[in-house]
Amino acid sequence: MKPSKLLFASLAAAGLAAAATPALADTCKDVKFKVTNNHFEGREIEIRQVKYFNPHTGNTHTEDVKNLVCKHGATCMTDGDNLANAKNVDLNSIQVVFKYREHDGGWSKEFQTQKFVPAYRKCTEGKTYGPIVVTDSAG
């Protein structure tokens, strides 16, 4: 095969491979999650992580957040986080991972909320999702 035909065939194959691989989105910056603490026993909670399903990657992602203590009845907000491969992607099934304050003053094991599906899912810079409501400790 002539070098020019070989080069063309290689470039065509590379183009087909690139077309078959979905492009990754950019980082969705400064995303916040609003959480309302309605724990059924009136407990203080500590927000530890946020999980969300990204249909662009086909995976559930876990984002560590700065541990945030939220009093019962309060609505608290996480600091802004940068979510990789999520810019302009519809995020679904958001869950908050939390612990609650036990009677002895220590923290419980980790639990997660029911799945929250936002009305407007597209991740954009500065977006706030929620409120995601903590009602019980069903893990």
Asked if the structure places residue 2 within a domain, the reply is no
The CATH number linked to 106 is 2.60.40
Asked if the structure places residue 5 within a domain, the reply is no
Predicted confidence (pLDDT) per residue in 37-53, tens digit? 999 999 999 999 999 99
Asked if the structure places residue 127 within a domain, the reply is yes
Whether this prediction's pTM lies above 0.95 is answered by no
Asked if the structure places residue 93 within a domain, the reply is yes
Residue 103 pLDDT exceeds 80:
yes
Structural domain harbouring 80: 25-134
Asked if the structure places residue 1 within a domain, the reply is no
Long-range contacts of 100-109 (CB under 8 A, 24+ apart): 100/39, 100/41, 100/43, 100/44, 100/45, 100/46, 100/137, 101/43, 101/44, 101/45, 101/46, 102/43, 107/46, 108/137, 109/139
The total domain count for the chain is 1
Asked if the structure places residue 10 within a domain, the reply is no
Residue 20 pLDDT exceeds 70:
no
Asked if the structure places residue 20 within a domain, the reply is no
The mean pLDDT value for 16-24 works out to: 46
